Structure 1
Amino acid sequence: MRVFVSVDISNNEIINSVKNFQSLIEVDAKAIESKNLHFTLQFLGEISEKKIELIIQELKKIEFLKFEIYLKGIGVFPNIKSPKIIWIGTDQNSSKKMINLFKKIQNSLKPLGFTSDKSFKPHITVFRIKKKIGDITEEMKTHENINFGKQEVSSFKLKKSELTANGPIYSDLMEFN
């Protein structure tokens, strides 16, 4: 089963701000559905049922105090000249808090053989771009300083991802408070 650890976007103010942004931006890209908006803290890949139980045991041990994050600004991966993903980020303080949570998760799963192959940049994906669309610098500059709102982070989830022709279907395996 394909799994990842995430913080879901559940604040309706943020969800509505994201929908509004998705309707304003003029790029040939697939918008991510509101129900699928999340921060991926660690992608674990294809995992056996047995390993899922070990992951759950480790994640249950993580302690953290709830915190607020402010979603602000937009960006692209891998670069503005040839984007594949358009994302929404966080302010600097929120980024530090999300990175601390990421490190706790990463450290707890390391003994099970999970490591992250890239540095963690707190973001939620809001568009996926399948075909080459070229430089979108001007379009991005128009929206670069949008504030999307704040959300309390009091839990994270272990989620299952099923890939379908219509896009991924995510389901919760376990929530950790």
Structure 2
Amino acid sequence: MKKLLFALTTIFIIGFSTDTFAQYDYNWAVGFRVGEPLGFNVRKYFQNGDKAFDINIGTYGFIYNRQRRYNAGEYKTAGLMIQGIYLWQNQVFNRDWAHVYYGFGGQINNRSHYADILKNEKIDHIKKISLGPTGTAGIELKIPNQPLAFFVDAGLYIEALPSPFFWNGQISSGLRLNIIK
């Protein structure tokens, strides 16, 4: 289901985007996202707003996938996540208030792992640091005459270390305040 949702979202966004570049008057944006990941978002716009870099700091596995099989054990709690993604943006329907974006980057997570082999020992869990590539695609709608924008995006994180090819779908929405012209 998650793969289908990601594929449909990507097809929709790319299909309705145009070759016109976003003309952002702002250089920076800060915001809050709800979903996976849940947390704080900082975006730096480059050139005419057609490229950007997102930094997300927040939780990993808080809203969904909190209890999930993982590497001969399971995750039972949420963890800390730091994510950096380079983005490309385009206007939708030649409207300045609607933009689609897509991009790729990396993600680092810190989360407690409850391994099956540890159940007979005094230690019941161990902290795991994981990292891997991530991709996202989304749509951003600016509120007219305001520096606020609402966004919805979906993506995929594929762990490279320590458990290669463990994947997690990521869907979130939120508000961003555009600052610093």
Q: Indicate the TM-score class for this superposition, using the shorter chain for normalisation.
A: under 0.3
Bigger proportion of residues as helix: 1
Higher relative contact order (CA 8 A, sep 6+): 1
* Largest Rg, 1 or 2: 2
Q: Which has the higher strand share?
A: 2
When normalised by structure 2's length, the TM-score is 0.27
Given the two structures, how large is their TM-score scaled by the length of structure 1?
0.27
